[in-house]
């Protein structure tokens, strides 16, 4: 079942993100940051276990980011990540946003969902908001992709 995250999901979300962060495939988030932004998160749950998570983070009046997308090890290929991204895009449309982007090490996954490559320079809000705090800045090796939403 796909649903908005609840406070009690924060530790499971943190662990999912940590698994990928430890492999260098995703930038980790602190547990405090997850609690602070819990309303941005969705979770995919089966039999009481969180198998996937992702968040829609609003960046500006017309721009949002799909971030912190992670699926439990051994659960890839089952459509969990796709469902999470789609619900994030549906929310973005409902909010009246025009564009959603992602910074990722899995560009082909996002391209299958309609995202296209963009230059990171097209994302000044992200660069000056989050990227400056990243240990990889300015030598980021993530791919920037975006999708234009129908108004």
Domains located in the chain, CATH noted? 2-148 (3.40.630.30)
pTM (predicted TM-score): 0.90
Assigned token pair, 29: 């988030």
> Can you tell me the distance from the alpha carbon of 92 to that of 78, in angstroms, rounded to the nearest whole number?
24
Length of the chain: 151
88 or 140, which is more confident: 88
Q: Mean pLDDT over residues 44-50, rounded?
A: 96
Q: Where does the pLDDT of residue 151 fall: very low under 50, low under 70, confident under 90, or very high at 90 and above?
A: low
**Beta-carbon contacts of residue 31 (< 8 Å; ≥ 6 apart):** 10, 11, 14
82 or 129, which is more confident: 82
Q: Mean pLDDT over residues 137-148, rounded?
A: 79
20 or 80, which is more confident: 80
């Amino acid at each position: 079942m796909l649903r908005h995250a609840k406070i009690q999901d924060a530790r499971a979300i943190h662990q999912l993100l940590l698994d990928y962060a430890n492999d260098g495939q995703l930038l980790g988030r602190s547990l405090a940051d997850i609690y602070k932004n819990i309303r941005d998160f969705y979770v995919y749950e089966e039999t009481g276990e969180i198998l996937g998570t992702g968040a829609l983070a609003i960046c500006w009046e017309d721009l949002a980011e799909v971030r912190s997308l992670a699926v439990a090890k051994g659960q890839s290929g089952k459509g969990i990540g796709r469902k999470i991204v789609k619900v994030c895009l549906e929310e973005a449309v409902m909010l009246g946003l025009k564009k959603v982007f992602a910074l990722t090490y899995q560009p082909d996954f996002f391209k299958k969902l309609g995202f296209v490559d963009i230059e990171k320079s097209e994302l000044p809000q992200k660069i000056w908001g989050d990227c400056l705090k990243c240990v990889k800045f300015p030598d980021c090796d993530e791919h920037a992709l975006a999708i234009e939403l129908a108004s």
